Amino acid sequence: MTQLTQEQRALHWQRTRTLMIVHLTIWFIFSYVVHWFAVELNAIKFFGWPLGYYMSAQGSLVVFVVQLFMFSKQQHAIDVEFGVAEEE
Amino acid sequence: MGMQWEGKSFIDNLPKIYGVYTGGFLAFFALMAILEQMGVGADMIGILFVGFTIVIYAFIGVLSRTMAVDAYYVAGRSVPPVFNGMATAADWMSGASFVAMAGGIFMAGHGYMAFIVGWTGGYILVATLMAPYLRKFGCYTVPDFVGTRYGGKLARFCAIVVLIVASFTYVTAQITATGTIAARALQIPFEAGVWFGLAGILVCSMLGGMRAVTWTQVAQYIVLIVAYLIPIFWMSIAQGFGPFPQLAYGGAVERIMELEPVIGVGTKAVEAVPGLGVLTTLHATPKEGAIAAWQFVTLVACMMIGTASLPHILMRYFTTPSVRDARTSVAWSLFFIFLLYFSAPALATFSKLQMIDPTLPTAIIGKSIDEVMALNWIQKWGAIGLLAVKDGNADGILQINEFFLNPDIIVLATPEMAGLPYVISGLVAAGGMAAAMSTADGLLLAMANALSHDLYYKIIDPKAETKKRLLTARILLVVIGAAGALVASMKLTGILGAVAWAFCFAMSGLFFPLVLGVWWKRANRPGAIAGMVGGLGVGWWYLLAVRNPKEWYGLAEPWLGLNDLRFGIVGIVASLVCMVVVTLLTAAPDEETQRMVDEVRIPRGDTIIGAKA
């Protein structure tokens, strides 16, 4: 196993941190912002559901699940790129 | 019989083992349905369902007994991500999720949906901020991370205290739930049900620790998800909504919103029945105004941050073979949890529609009281005080504000309302039992492991030999379990209140010390201790103050409408401020600690604790 230089470590961590911030931003929108406007969104119909209600019953949840599988893939890609992924 | 619990052949066989198990459970269900048709009584079917499933869990628990430290604390770090996902889902979904959630949505409408959002979205925090790094650390328990990252016995001790406060609050609620279900299914008194439930829980965890809990939790997940989904699918097909109601209930929500003004939802009841309520909240219409929105998002925040701080959840990710697996395992956990949570609103919607829609044969609102009182399920649940009918305006017709119910009957009685055979109710009882038992197991193990590994081995007697450590762990498990059962049998708080408090305690004390331990290299020991003590202390004070406004705690009005379910918001702010201020006022951690943090941040290489030892 080759030793990482300090710069490589810093860059790997920077990329990891950016990915975390991107995902937490999406998380923040679907956890809080969307539900703050539930009353307004409810005026819109989505396959019969009022949209504000739909987002709390299913919409946000679907986003979270998809997001986590993507996050796992993306973080692994970063680790592979910097050669810090675990050996299989 | 020597059984292989780790290694390639066991792991490769897992899908087959649990496939056979699932098939066996479905066959048992079919057998019960046949027995019911042959005239076996409803009571007997309930007893068989609960009894049979508990025997299976106990069997797994006994078979997977172990005397190895790695197997006892972290299941040998060999649990594949998908199976760990199922185990986490069972660990996570408590009796409250299973029994109370759909009923809460039924009664409290949109405001209650904060629990659905909060109890799923927290896993984003777990995956991005915590789980992979804690796995790389290689700790056995959550206080183990705190103790090693920050160093010193005091930091470790503070983490143990927070863990015990949060988990013990939670476990009493779970033991209460097992007691309630066991009492009802087996027809024994509640107190006896509590001790019976505890015995079942202990058999699953005592001999095999984490390894046994893991493999029983997978089995319990399968039972609970089958038990939750079968009635929903069945009802949906029976009512013509097709086989995937979760995708098709928009029309039902629309119909409820049409009917609400017609039947007068929102009219207060004339009489009062203790412990029961009438439906007065609109189904899908949120309350107007910034205060309602604030209440919604603060509850979401408490449940999410609490999720990411609860040790019995975090420790599940110590059991995966690699850091990468810990990450994917979080995604699988959320997927398995999602299957239940996105079904709960559908169940609440169907159950409400079939009660209020006059065009459906199952409707009761608008029917004559005599007709309603003649229904079998009304009599049965009325007899044990979970519902009541009071003709407030004495017109002989049942109005929406004359039908009193306990929210729990939405899950427990909906199959009967829909006219499904009793075998479904037996299945639901087994599912509720699985949900409460699996969560209680995880919590008890988290507490006993923290006390045996961190308090006894790391603080009191570092020279203790393996055998003595594992014996201590088992004795503690029994002692804590008994203490929990004792408190549960005193019936102090409602199930939901205690659950929300546990989340608030955990987030107040542990969230920032854990997150900043990885994400802020400068974070040091005095800061972490201040964060844990300050957060837990202020949170606890606030809880007492809002609960007792007339006492000496010095708070007449809650701040910003933050009531006792949301005290974690106050605690976590205090925790962050204390931790940052004290850290900056004291010296940075030494070189070695900083190098350790660097190593935690990359997946490759040995675990931190393994490399140190």
Q: Each residue of B411-452: pLDDT tens digit? A: 888 888 877 888 888 899 899 999 999 999 999 999 999 999
- Chain A neighbors of B117, CB-CB under 8 A: 31, 35, 56, 60-61
Cα–Cα distance measured from residue B461 to residue B457, given in angstroms and rounded to the nearest whole number: 5
Q: Name chain B contacts of A16, Cβ cutoff 8 Å.
A: 601
The answer to whether residue A33 sits within a structural domain is: yes
DSSP reduced 3-state for A50 = strand
pLDDT surpassing 50 at residue B613: no
Asked if residue A6 is part of any domain, the answer here is: no
Q: State the total domains in chain A.
A: 1
Can you tell me the ipTM of this complex?
0.96
Give a yes or no: residue A2 inside a domain.
no
- Helix %, strand %, coil % of chain A (to 5): 75, 5, 20
Please indicate, yes or no, if residue A88 is contained in any of the structural domains. Answer: no
Q: Does residue B1 register a pLDDT over 80?
A: no
Q: Is the pLDDT of residue A1 over 60?
A: no
- Calpha distance B159→B535 (Å, rounded): 12
Residue of A16, A64, A76 lying closest to B120 (CB–CB): A64
Mean pLDDT of all residues in A78-85? 93
B275 close to B385: Cβ distance less than 8 angstroms:
yes
A20 contact residues in B (CB cutoff 8 A):
128-129
φ/ψ bin of B563: left (φ > 0), alpha (ψ from -120 to 50), beta (otherwise): beta
Give the pLDDT of residue B530.
Answer: 97
Residue A87 lies inside a defined structural domain of this protein:
no
Mean pLDDT of B347-369: 89
H or E segment at B118?
helix B113-125
Instruction: Tell me which chain A residues have a C-beta less than 8 angstroms from the C-beta of B323.
Output: 86
Band of residue B495 on the pLDDT scale cut at 50, 70, 90: low
- The answer on pLDDT for B140 being more than 70 is yes
Distance from CA of A40 to the nearest CA of B (A): 9
What separation in angstroms does the CA of B356 have from each of B233, B258, B263, B398, B528? 20, 11, 8, 11, 54
pLDDT tens string B377-406: 888 888 878 889 988 888 889 999 999 998
Which residue has better confidence, B394 or B529?
B529
Contact B608, B576 (CB under 8 A): no
Mutate to test the interface with B, among A53, A73, A88 (most CBs of B within 10 A): A53
In A, which residues are within 8 Å of B253 by CB distance?
48-50, 53
Q: Do B459 and B223 contact (CB within 8 A), yes or no? A: no
Q: What is the mean pLDDT of chain B?
A: 90
Q: CA nearest B87: which of B234, B216, B173, B193?
A: B216
- Domain with A33, as residue range(s), is 12-81
Q: CA distances (Å), B149 to each of B133, B134, B138, B455, B529, in order? A: 12, 11, 12, 16, 12
Q: Both tokens of residue B17? A: 């083992």
CA distance to partner chain A, nearest, from residue B241 (Å): 13
Structure tokens at B346: 């559908």
* Interchain pair A12, B601: CB under 8 A: yes
What's the CA gap between B302 and B566, in Å, rounded? 6
Share of chain B above pLDDT 70, in %: 97
Domains and CATH numbers, chain B: 18-248+288-349+421-612 (1.20.1730.10)
Contact B603 A53 (CB under 8 A): no
To the nearest 10°, the Cα dihedral for B146, B148, B150, B156?
A: 50
Say if A46 falls within a structural domain: yes
Most confident of B172-181, B472-481, B525-534: B525-534
Do the domain assignments include residue A3? no
Report pLDDT digits (tens) over B225-272: 999 999 888 888 877 778 888 888 888 899 999 999 988 888 888 888
B541 in contact with chain A, both atoms CB, cutoff 8 A: no
Distance CA B277, CA B406 (A): 7
Tell me whether residue A45 is in a domain.
yes
Nearest residue, CB atoms, B124 vs list A32, A67, A86: A67
Residue with token string 């059984």: B3
Contacts of A61 in chain B (CB under 8 A): 116-117, 120, 338, 341-342
